[in-house]
Amino acid sequence: MLHVNRRIKDIVGSTTLAITARAKELAAQGHDVVNFGAGEPDFDTPDFIKKAGIKAIESGFTKYTPSIGTQDLREAIAAKFQKDNGLVYKPNQIVVSCGAKHSLFNIIQVLVDDGDEVIFQSPYWVSYPEMVKAAGGKSVIIPTDASTAFKITPDLLKKHITPKTRILIINSPSNPTGVMYHKEELAKIAEICVAHKIYVISDEIYEKLIYDTNVFTSIASLGQEIFDLTITVNGVSKAYAMTGWRIGYAAGALEIMEYIKKYQDHSTSNPTSISQVAALEALKASPESIDQMCQIFKKRRDLMLQCLDRIPELSYIRPEGAFYVFCDFSKVGDATVIAKQMLDEVKVAGIPGDSFGAPNYIRFSFATSDARIQEGIARVAKWIANQSSSLKV
């Protein structure tokens, strides 16, 4: 029998990627698939960023860089943190990695020891439990639902803290729900983490995709004590349509970041030199260069909600950021089965909520055109109507 490391043998593959792969396979067979499965912007990387990458190749910037990323890029990230988030990190407190996913993986491997407890909520981003497993830790999942707008409350958090609690992961705006934690909510959470000396990993990857009058707050900005306990994670994937370039970054207390550096030294070394140049260009650009993408996402969100509102069986919490609507299918049936049936029967791909620890839901991504949103939700409506009428027969 194959012998596999005990921490790795129970890891499950990413269902998000599996459904997306199946949707692509059906499309390749000639089916007209509406793909609401995507976890990435459908826009192309802006030209000025691509050009910086091309220039990097042409000028021979194709060798190893410092393992934690170039000084220029880390200075630009430090400036970004200060300007956008009110966080003062020195460049040596920042480690650039191959995507925010890699940053999160590094942090969890460095901070979590056998049996340590890591708290996060469900619905959660699919990779958190698997990263904790890989580190030998224990995920302590706080279930949340529409009654608290998918957010943990101070009481819920307190109830889940034990002497083994080491880390709280906060993801705002959230994948898969699109809801965000507001300043007052974060302040209460920060107070509890400070009182119990719990590290916070703040996954801020959707920071730039926020709609209406909502204002983004980094939990680390809420006082020196919470700043010292927080590792802030961000990246260029979602904000600049750069998912394939694989650049993410983390910042925190120097002693933690030095361990992360050592860990990365012996795994990937530096993230791609060319992508670092492109990410630097992205971070130096004026905010207007990405505002347009955000405006388009907002219009698409509004359109998707309008279409969903015509389906009485479905409900959702209005997303304030990111590009997902998390739909409650409990009035229709088993969401895991439905997601598969809808893909096979009407060729609409959504990600079943069990991947996010919320089995009654399906996540629809609105990172696609208006026409596809209308077409896809119309197919969902028709499919649901057919189910109800066949049930009545």
Number of residues that make up the chain? 393
Contact 361, 327 (CB under 8 A): yes
Greatest CA separation found in the chain?
70
> What is the DSSP code (8-state) at residue 124?
-
User: Looking at the DSSP assignment, which residues form a beta bridge with residue 171?
Assistant: 203
Closest distance of CB 151 from ligand PLP, Å = 15
Closest CA to 218 of 48, 81, 352, 105: 81
Of the pair 332, 367, the CB lying nearest ligand PLP is at 367
* Touching ligand PLP, residues 14-53 (CB under 6 A): 39
* Choice from 14, 15, 243, 330 touching ligand PLP (CB under 6 A): 243
Closest distance of CB 308 from ligand PLP, Å = 21
Taking CB atoms, the residue at the shortest distance from ligand PLP is: 99
Q: Does 173 bind ligand PLP (CB under 6 A)?
A: no
Identify the residue whose tokens are 């399906």: 362
* Choice from 109, 121, 171, 221 touching ligand PLP (CB under 6 A): 171
Closest distance of CB 240 from ligand PLP, Å = 11
Of the pair 91, 248, the CB lying nearest ligand PLP is at 248
* Touching ligand PLP, residues 280-319 (CB under 6 A): none
* Choice from 37, 248, 350, 357 touching ligand PLP (CB under 6 A): 248
Closest distance of CB 89 from ligand PLP, Å = 18
Q: Does 357 bind ligand PLP (CB under 6 A)?
A: no
How far apart (Å, rounded) are the C-alpha atoms in residues 245 and 285?
17
Please state whether beta strands 165-171 and 117-122 pair in parallel, antiparallel, or not at all (unpaired).
Answer: parallel
Of the pair 190, 239, the CB lying nearest ligand PLP is at 239
Cα 124 off chain centre by:
9
Of the pair 203, 320, the CB lying nearest ligand PLP is at 203
* Touching ligand PLP, residues 67-106 (CB under 6 A): 99-101
User: Looking at the DSSP assignment, which residues form a beta bridge with residue 167?
Assistant: 118, 199
Closest distance of CB 34 from ligand PLP, Å = 20
Of the pair 175, 336, the CB lying nearest ligand PLP is at 175
Closest distance of CB 247 from ligand PLP, Å = 7
Closest distance of CB 388 from ligand PLP, Å = 33
Of the pair 175, 273, the CB lying nearest ligand PLP is at 175
Burial of 92 (0-12, 13-18, 19+ CB in 10 A): middle
Closest distance of CB 295 from ligand PLP, Å = 21
* Touching ligand PLP, residues 103-132 (CB under 6 A): 125
Closest distance of CB 170 from ligand PLP, Å = 10
Of the pair 81, 332, the CB lying nearest ligand PLP is at 81
Q: Does 237 bind ligand PLP (CB under 6 A)?
A: yes
Percent of the chain that is helix, strand, coil (3-state, to 5): 45, 15, 40
Of the pair 119, 332, the CB lying nearest ligand PLP is at 119
Of the pair 67, 307, the CB lying nearest ligand PLP is at 67
How far apart (Å, rounded) are the C-alpha atoms in residues 258 and 112?
15
Closest distance of CB 12 from ligand PLP, Å = 16
For residue 147 the two structure tokens come to: 């009654």
Contact 189, 197 (CB under 8 A): no
Q: What's phi and psi for 209, nearest 5 deg? A: -110, 85
Q: Is the peptide bond before 143 cis (omega within 30 degrees of 0)?
A: no
Contact 377, 308 (CB under 8 A): yes
Contact 219, 252 (CB under 8 A): no
Of the pair 42, 203, the CB lying nearest ligand PLP is at 203
One-letter amino acid at 33 equals: V
How far apart (Å, rounded) are the C-alpha atoms in residues 159 and 155?
6
List CB contacts of 127: < 8 A, sequence separation 6 or more: 14, 101, 104, 105
User: Looking at the DSSP assignment, which residues form a beta bridge with residue 168?
Assistant: 119, 200
* Touching ligand PLP, residues 186-225 (CB under 6 A): 203, 205
Interface with ligand PLP: number of residues (CB under 6 A): 13
Residues that bind ligand PLP (CB under 6 A): 39, 99-101, 125, 171, 175, 203, 205, 235, 237, 243, 248
